[in-house]
Amino acid sequence: MSIADGLKIAFDVHLSGDLERAEEFYRAILRVSPTDPMAVTLLALIRSQRTAIRQSKHKTLTLLRARGFAPATVIDVGAQTGTPPLYEVFPEAHHVLIEPVVENEPALQALCGQLRSAEYHIAAVARRDGTVPLAVSDDRLYSSVILEGETPDSTLPGLRTVPAISLDGLCAERGYAGPMLVKIDVDGLELEVLAGASTLMQPDAVFVIEATVAGADARLPRIIAAMAPYGFQVWDIVDPLYRPNDERMWQVDLVLVHRDGPYAAL
């Protein structure tokens, strides 16, 4: 077989998504022709693809599942119109979708109809039950609870009052079973959510929390510090986002497990 034929087979395998077999083909070609530019380039592409996959919520949740994590309840705080990795990796769990922007309700209704077991709540999550002011962008893609004394973000012009619930209160009322996976994406109010979630801090729980890493208001260190007294530590950092103007890392998702729990790294 010629190198050209081998490359064609390798590339077809690569396109199919079978990175392991494609790598074997490229390495076989490089043993015959160590400087072949196509094989060198495509082998490097496989390495970058693996890095991108590894840095995703889907991959880290799959790794935790392989360690025995099988949540009975998955709580999606700031669900917007859905978070696919949560139900792709844990389709058998009961999914609780919580979203404050009522315009997203039709999408959540449709999603709950597709999942094996699910419910949704149109509410903001806070440290206690009640109501809160919510600023919402014109396209309804972004929203942020306005705490007392804060000035609303000028990029989120729509201001409305929405119901607020705490995770402690909701879980006590509904009696959700553990273990729990809790995903939190609330654009700056993570500590408020965590302040009302102390009963969820169980050793068999896993938290996935969005955190900014740049700027004076970087939330990553404060989230880690807030979780530490409950015994939670960072297990992974995934889904990095970079600022378009200077390519500085701006935001990540922290994956936290209990240091004495069954999924902690040894």
Structure confidence by residue, pLDDT tens digits, 89-124:
999 999 999 999 888 899 999 999 999 999 999 999
DSSP helix/strand/coil, 113: helix
Count of all residues that appear for the chain in the document:
266
Q: Which residue has the tokens 């896993």?
A: 206
Count structural domains, the chain: 2
174 in a domain, yes or no? Answer: yes
Residues 65 and 20 both lie in one domain: no
232 in a domain, yes or no? Answer: yes
Residues 64 and 17 both lie in one domain: no
Residues 23 and 105 both lie in one domain: no
User: Is residue 146 predicted with pLDDT exceeding 60?
Assistant: yes
The domain boundary residue, chosen from 35, 52, 69? 52
Residues 172 and 67 both lie in one domain: yes
32 in a domain, yes or no? Answer: yes
pLDDT by residue (tens digit) across 13-70? Answer: 777 667 678 778 778 888 888 888 888 787 777 666 556 556 788 889 998 998 899 9
Residues 118 and 209 both lie in one domain: yes
Q: What is the reported pTM?
A: 0.78
73 in a domain, yes or no? Answer: yes
CATH of the domain at 189: 3.40.50.150
Full residue range of the structural domain in which residue 21 is found: 3-52
Pairing of strands 118-122, 130-136: unpaired
What is the predicted pLDDT for the residue at 197?
96
131 in a domain, yes or no? Answer: no
What is the predicted pLDDT for the residue at 48?
62
Residues 205 and 115 both lie in one domain: yes
64 in a domain, yes or no? Answer: yes
The confidence band for 147, taking pLDDT boundaries of 50, 70 and 90, is low
Q: Output 161 or 195, whichever has higher pLDDT.
A: 195
156 in a domain, yes or no? Answer: no
Residues 185 and 82 both lie in one domain: yes
Residues 64 and 115 both lie in one domain: yes
What tokens does 49 get? 């693809």
User: Is residue 138 predicted with pLDDT exceeding 80?
Assistant: no
DSSP helix/strand/coil, 168: helix
What rounded mean pLDDT belongs to the chain?
A: 84
User: In sequence order, what DSSP letters do the residues of 81-139 get, joined into one string?
Assistant: T--HHHHHH-TTSEEEEEES-GGGHHHHHHHHHHSSSEEEEESEE-SSSEEEEEEE-TT
What is the predicted pLDDT for the residue at 19?
66
| DSSP H or E stretch at residue 255 | strand 249-258
